[in-house]
Chains A and B, each alone.
Chain A
Amino acid sequence: MNDFVIADTGKCIGCRTCEIACVLAHQSSPDLAALTPENFMARLSLVQTAMVTVPIQCHQCEDAPCVKACVRGALKQGDHVVEIHEEACIGCKACMLACPYGAIEIRMDQETNKVRVVKCDLCKSKKAGPACIRVCPTKALKKVQHEDFFKQISNRRKHAAGFMQG
């Protein structure tokens, strides 16, 4: 099973600290000066509707529509994550059409003139883990780890059984 980042809608206050942290974590240097409106590509995106405030990002689906849609293998099932192989991407945008969450975007990097696949990669290359989680001031974001997920379900089942003692 894949890991994924998810936000608690009850805790998110819509401050967008996560978006900046995400962009900086995916730049070659974490230098604020290197940011431009063009290269500012957050992999999670704050949404405010009438009732809900929450960042939306990739769910790392098990049977991922984006992976299936990609004819070039630029998106692949990897080590508990839907992996991005940017060098293979031709920018056909099939993944953007396929993703039901709107969590993937294909953008042109104007500096390098290369295609960028903008999707949560769980900050796999970072020792400190996902940057968005680290900076969230209300701890609204968390990474659901595959191993914890089953532990949690198992605990809940035990808890539920407790109610059945009669």
Chain B
Amino acid sequence: MGNKVKTICPYCASGCEILLTVENGEIICAEPGQGRNNQGELCLKGYYGWDFLKNNKHITARVTKPMIRRVRGAEFEEVSWAEAIAFAAMRLQAVKKQYGPDSIMCTGAARGPGNEANYVMQKFARAAVGTNNIDHCARVCHGSSVSGLELSLGNGAMSNSIPEIEDTKCVFIFGYNPAVTHPIVARRILKAKDKGATIITADPRFSEQAKISDLWLPLKNGTNMALVNAMAYVLLTENLYKKDYVENYTEGFAAYAKIVMEYSPESVEALVGISAKDIRTAARMYAAASSATILWGMGVTQFGQAVDVVQGLASLALLTGNLGRPNVGVGPVRGQNNVQGSCDMGALPNVFPGYQSVEDEMLRKKFEKAWGVKLPKKRGVCLTEVPHLARKGKIKAYYIFGEDPVQSDPDANGIRKALTAMDLVIVQDIFMNKTALYADVILPATSWGEHEGVYSAADRGFQKFNKAIEPKGDVKPDWEIIALMATAMGYPMQYKNTEEIWDELRSLCPLYAGASYKKLDELGCVQWPCLDEADEGTSYLYEGNVFNRPNGKGLLFAAVYRKPKEMPDTDYPFILSTVREVGHYSVRTMTGNCNALRILSDEPGYIQMNNQDLSRLGIKDQELVWVASRRGKIIARILSTERVNRGAVYMTYHWWIGACNDLTIEHLDPISKTPELKYCAVNIEVIVDQAAAENYVVAQYSALKKKMGC
């Protein structure tokens, strides 16, 4: 038998412990460990999602040598690390000299690299480049949760831990489909139900959660705020809220009530598409439970009005006293394995690591002293503002670390134009991807499985992940590459290993000070805040109902409902909402290269559509169709289902041919700058010659693979 390496799953942020069996330097299988969150269980990605490390080249190839392109449009040339770093740093310095540090944007990476690499990257942006222009894909997903919860409660993370879900008495699931995104969290919800919890699901689709719910609220797409306000109306008018809790631990009640009182369930019935009776029942069920947990996902956060809804949900928890104790709370369940971590590490334009504001002079002085350099005080730009700013000539260079915005961000054509407009694009990744096609420099990194570090699970749990195999090719760990770049830029950076980076981080962040490698090894998982040596971490936040706001009180906040930006019309009669598929992950560079996962589901990808809408258009299940919006047109395969509502279609951003982000709209929440990926207008065009369309897909797929080095 081979050697077993304990590590953490690289997919969703459930933070499952995995044991990889390694024989002769190769992984041969994965099995579940007894992690805090997964307790000996894994989903299909955990079990069968590691063989992308074999460079199968099903969709794209590993980058195994540094590559540069001296002239745009030329072929990439493979060069030595010394030459690649010198070239990239020289070009970046030139941009900095000509346009200033704020013309440069850097990203963190929410996936494989780990916390240490993100810490080093934000330090690179702030100390070596001299800008707070650092952000990452949290902006595209739970950015609204972070902003909304920081405003209402003072902390942007899940208030309670994943294991606590099973002991809550009511799970209110809003715009969240864990059966697909976090099977291991879905498992906790089933356990809660087994233990007698009431389940309420608000989702336009009949999801697996809706299936097991006591009450399903099939709201119309884009009406979240009206539903949340109407539930609050019921709590207030039926005296279902805890008056003493509100009085002692919250503020803003009068202004809150004033807005909420405009939203009686009866008045929003038609808008939301749910009977006043069901809205009332939902509010009563939530309020009646002795403990209740609200869980949400992108169905809340990816709207032009998202922060308001997050604050509305937090207000429901405050009204009913469902915070500050075990088995309650608010749970924005983070999607990517380390998206909580890249936020924790300060890969955000407004905070240093540990959520310390860049605008706070005392805090900035602390970091200046530690890093030996003057730091910028102005907050940086958000990831989703980059395309616009690049097209306007304000952002000139982009150091993209472990992200593929052409595939993952709204309006891919807008992103392509932005990348073309920039003077310099540096991509640091493990795989060739659609964004790298626009790069001037590609820096190849080691992957999950080939390096070690710490990830943060969705519930603030730090866990160490370990190296299982040696990387193949001329690749380096991300933090080493960034340190080389910093040094070449004139800011020498040198670390012996990830522990040294982690210890520097801990010395600067009171929230993480006690979470040493030694403690992580001993306890397996430590949830921040972990303040000192004796502290074993924090399962739930706001103990004693003290919120992390200036006066310690939670903020009750409601907003007037705003409709989505692009409503369907006669030219584009369907709502497109982007969702997920259980066997694939993110931009699919990893799962698309896993043999079993790609067999279960492959290009061009599906568009889920209501069976009655399909028969009206004369389209059959599994047929190919054109999907068009004002921004683009792509081909996709029909998945006919009774589970999705009429008038709306659903696609996942995993697909490279059926790429839904060629269609989506660059409309942002005004506070969090999170895009409205859950709502834009599209048209479905019938294809008469299906055989020709199938051939077209095959040709597109092989052309794409060729570009990706397969």
Q: Which residues of A contact B (CB under 8 A)?
A: 10-11, 13-17, 19-21, 23-24, 30-33, 35-37, 40, 48-51, 53, 135, 137-138
Chain A CB within 8 A of B187 CB: yes
Question: Other CB < 8 Å A-B pairs besides A14-B179, A35-B595, 10 of them?
Answer: A10-B190, A14-B582, A16-B583, A20-B600, A32-B595, A49-B642, A50-B641, A137-B41, A137-B187, A138-B183
Q: Which residues of B lie under 8 Å from residue A30 when comparing CB positions?
A: 29
Chain A CB within 8 A of B697 CB: no
Chain A CB within 8 A of B72 CB: no
Mind listing 21 A-B residue pairs with CB under 8 Å? A10-B212, A11-B190, A13-B190, A13-B208, A15-B583, A20-B44, A20-B47, A30-B29, A32-B595, A35-B595, A35-B599, A36-B599, A48-B643, A50-B642, A53-B208, A135-B42, A135-B47, A137-B183, A138-B41, A138-B187, A138-B190
CB distance from B522 to the nearest CB of A (A): 27
In the complex, chain B residues 24-42 whose Cβ is within 8 Å of any chain A Cβ: 28-29, 41-42
Residue of A nearest to B184 (CB): A137
In the complex, chain B residues 167-226 whose Cβ is within 8 Å of any chain A Cβ: 179, 183-184, 186-187, 190, 206, 208, 211-212
User: Chain A interface mostly helix, strand, loop or mixed?
Assistant: loop
- A49–B642 Cα distance when bound, in Å, is 8
Q: Which residues of B lie under 8 Å from residue A31 when comparing CB positions?
A: 28
- A15–B599 Cα distance when bound, in Å, is 14
- Residue of A10, A15, A49 touching B582 (CB-CB under 8 A): A15
- Residue of A11, A40, A48, A50 touching B599 (CB-CB under 8 A): A40
User: Chain B interface mostly helix, strand, loop or mixed?
Assistant: helix
Q: Which of B48-56, B262-270, B460-468, B491-499 contacts A (4 or more CB under 8 A)?
A: B48-56
Q: Which residues of A lie under 8 Å from residue B44 when comparing CB positions?
A: 15-17, 20
A20 and B179 in contact (CB under 8 A), knowing A13-B186, A138-B187?
no
Decide if B54 touches A16 in the complex (CB within 8 Å). Answer: no
Q: Which residues of A lie under 8 Å from residue B41 when comparing CB positions?
A: 137-138
Decide if A137 touches B43 in the complex (CB within 8 Å). Answer: yes
Chain A CB within 8 A of B594 CB: yes
CB distance from A100 to the nearest CB of B (A): 23
Chain A CB within 8 A of B257 CB: no
Q: Which residues of A lie under 8 Å from residue B187 when comparing CB positions?
A: 13, 137-138
Closest 3 CB pairs of A and B: A13-B179, A50-B642, A17-B44
Decide if B596 touches A20 in the complex (CB within 8 Å). Answer: yes
In the complex, chain B residues 54-80 whose Cβ is within 8 Å of any chain A Cβ: 54, 56
A16 and B582 in contact (CB under 8 A), knowing A32-B596, A33-B54?
yes
Q: Which residues of B lie under 8 Å from residue A13 when comparing CB positions?
A: 179, 183, 186-187, 190, 208
Residue of B nearest to A23 (CB): B596
- A135–B43 Cα distance when bound, in Å, is 8
Decide if A15 touches B183 in the complex (CB within 8 Å). Answer: yes
Instruction: Report B603-635 CB contacts with A as 1/0, cut-off 8 Å.
Output: 000000000000000000000000000000000
- A19–B582 Cα distance when bound, in Å, is 13
- A21–B29 Cα distance when bound, in Å, is 12
Decide if A32 touches B582 in the complex (CB within 8 Å). Answer: no
Count contacts between A and B, CB distance < 8 Å. 79
Q: Which residues of A lie under 8 Å from residue B183 when comparing CB positions?
A: 13, 15, 17, 137-138
CB distance from B695 to the nearest CB of A (A): 18
Q: Which residues of B lie under 8 Å from residue A19 when comparing CB positions?
A: 600
A15 and B179 in contact (CB under 8 A), knowing A135-B47, A138-B190?
yes
- A34–B43 Cα distance when bound, in Å, is 21
Decide if B600 touches A137 in the complex (CB within 8 Å). Answer: no
Q: Which residues of B lie under 8 Å from residue A53 when comparing CB positions?
A: 208, 211
- Residue of B54, B208, B595, B643 touching A50 (CB-CB under 8 A): B643
Residue of A nearest to B641 (CB): A48
A138 and B186 in contact (CB under 8 A), knowing A20-B596, A37-B599?
yes
Q: Which residues of A lie under 8 Å from residue B43 when comparing CB positions?
A: 15, 17, 137
CB distance from A24 to the nearest CB of B (A): 8
Q: Which residues of B lie under 8 Å from residue A17 when comparing CB positions?
A: 42-44, 47-48, 183
Decide if B206 touches A33 in the complex (CB within 8 Å). Answer: no
CB distance from B38 to the nearest CB of A (A): 8
- Residue of A37, A40, A48, A137 touching B42 (CB-CB under 8 A): A137
Q: Which residues of B lie under 8 Å from residue A135 when comparing CB positions?
A: 42, 47
- A135–B46 Cα distance when bound, in Å, is 10
| A13, A30, A37, A50: residue with the most chain B Cβ atoms closer than 10 Å | A13
Q: Which residues of A lie under 8 Å from residue B29 when comparing CB positions?
A: 30
Decide if A20 touches B190 in the complex (CB within 8 Å). Answer: no
- A21–B47 Cα distance when bound, in Å, is 9
Q: Which residues of B lie under 8 Å from residue A36 when comparing CB positions?
A: 599
- A37–B48 Cα distance when bound, in Å, is 15
Q: Which residues of B lie under 8 Å from residue A49 when comparing CB positions?
A: 642
- Residue of A15, A40, A50, A137 touching B206 (CB-CB under 8 A): A50
- A138–B594 Cα distance when bound, in Å, is 23
CB distance from B108 to the nearest CB of A (A): 29
Q: Which residues of A lie under 8 Å from residue B206 when comparing CB positions?
A: 50-51
Residue of B nearest to A138 (CB): B187
Residue of B nearest to A30 (CB): B29
Decide if B600 touches A16 in the complex (CB within 8 Å). Answer: yes
Q: Which residues of A lie under 8 Å from residue B190 when comparing CB positions?
A: 10-11, 13, 138
A33 and B51 in contact (CB under 8 A), knowing A14-B582, A16-B44, A137-B184?
yes
CB distance from A126 to the nearest CB of B (A): 15
CB distance from A155 to the nearest CB of B (A): 20
CB distance from A32 to the nearest CB of B (A): 5
- A75–B641 Cα distance when bound, in Å, is 35
Q: Which residues of B lie under 8 Å from residue A48 when comparing CB positions?
A: 641, 643
Decide if B211 touches A20 in the complex (CB within 8 Å). Answer: no
- A49–B640 Cα distance when bound, in Å, is 10
Residue of A nearest to B40 (CB): A137
Q: Which residues of B lie under 8 Å from residue A33 when comparing CB positions?
A: 51, 54, 56, 595
- A14–B583 Cα distance when bound, in Å, is 10
- A94–B459 Cα distance when bound, in Å, is 53
Residue of B nearest to A33 (CB): B595
Residue of B nearest to A136 (CB): B41
Residue of B nearest to A37 (CB): B599
Instruction: Report B291-328 CB contacts with A as 1/0, cut-off 8 Å.
Output: 00000000000000000000000000000000000000
- A30–B41 Cα distance when bound, in Å, is 19
- A23–B273 Cα distance when bound, in Å, is 43
Residue of B nearest to A9 (CB): B211
- A10–B54 Cα distance when bound, in Å, is 37
Decide if A32 touches B594 in the complex (CB within 8 Å). Answer: yes
- A37–B206 Cα distance when bound, in Å, is 30
- A135–B47 Cα distance when bound, in Å, is 8
- A37–B58 Cα distance when bound, in Å, is 12
Q: Which residues of A lie under 8 Å from residue B28 when comparing CB positions?
A: 31
- A10–B580 Cα distance when bound, in Å, is 22
CB distance from A160 to the nearest CB of B (A): 23
CB distance from A133 to the nearest CB of B (A): 12
Residue of B nearest to A39 (CB): B599
